[in-house]
Structure 1
Amino acid sequence: MDTGWTLGYARVSTAGQDLTAQTDALVALGVPMERVFTDKGMTGTKRDRPGLRAALAACRPGDTLVVTKLDRLARSLRDATDIAAELTKKDVRLNLGGSVYDPTDPVGRLLFNVLGMVAEFESDLIRARTREGTATAKVKGKLKGRKPKLSPTRERLLVDLYRAGDHTITELMELFGVGRATIYRARDRAPIAASTDLTLARVDGEHEA
Structure 2
Amino acid sequence: MTAIVGYARTSTLDQVAGFEAQLRELTQAGCNKLFQEQVSSVGKRQQLETCLDYLREGDTLIVTKLDRLARNVGHLGQLVARLKEKGVSLRILDLGLDTSSPTGELILNMMGAVAQFERQMMLERQREGIARAKVDGKYKGRAPTAMRQAQRVKDLAAEGLRRSEIAQHLGLSERSVYRALRG
TM-score normalized with structure 1 length:
0.51
Unaligned runs of 5+ in 2: 127-141, 149-167, 172-183
In the alignment, what sits opposite 1:30? 30
- Quote the Cα distance in structure 1 between the aligned partners of 2:114 and 2:71: 10
- 1:17 offset after TM fit, Å? 1.6
Q: 8 Å contact 2:97–2:108 — kept in the other structure?
A: no
Q: 1:52 is matched with which residue?
A: 48
Taking the aligned partners of 1:111 and 1:61, their CA distance within structure 2 comes to 25
Amino acid at match of 1:37: F
C-alpha spacing 1:24/1:117, structure 2 compared with 1 (3 Å): farther
Offset of 1:14 from its aligned partner?
Answer: 1.3
Q: Deviations over 1:99-130 (max 9, x none)?
A: 21257447424334147538x94xx99xx9xx
Mark the CA change 1:111 to 1:28 in structure 2 (over 3 Å): closer, same or farther: farther
How far has the Cα of 1:137 moved from its partner? 9.4
Q: Which has the higher contact order (CA 8 A, sep 6+)?
A: 1
CA 1:90–1:64: 2 relative to 1, 3 Å: same
Q: Which residue of 2 aligns with 1:76?
A: 72
Q: Secondary structure at the match of 1:66?
A: strand
Percent same amino acid among aligned pairs? 29
What pairs with 1:85-96 in structure 2 (closer than 5 Å)? Answer: 85-96=81-92
Alpha-carbon contact 2:6-2:35 (below 8 Å) kept: yes
In structure 1, stretches of 5+ residues that fail to align are: 129-134, 142-170, 176-209
**Displacement, 1:41?**
2.4
**Residue 11 in structure 1 maps to residue 9 in structure 2:** yes
RMSD: 3.6
- Structure number with larger C-alpha Rg: 2
Structure with bigger helix share is 2
1:85 counterpart SS class: helix
Preserved contact between residue 74 and residue 80 of structure 1 (Cα < 8 Å): yes
What TM-score does the superposition give when structure 2 sets the normalisation length? 0.58
Q: Is residue 2:16 matched to residue 1:20?
A: no
Pairing 1:13-162 to 2, within 5 Å after superposition: 13-18=11-16, 19-32=19-32, 35-43=33-41, 45-46=42-43, 48-97=44-93, 98-102=96-100, 104-105=102-103, 107-114=106-113, 117=116, 121=119, 135-136=142-143
Q: Distance in 1 between matches of 2:40 and 2:63?
A: 15
Number of residue pairs matched by the alignment: 132
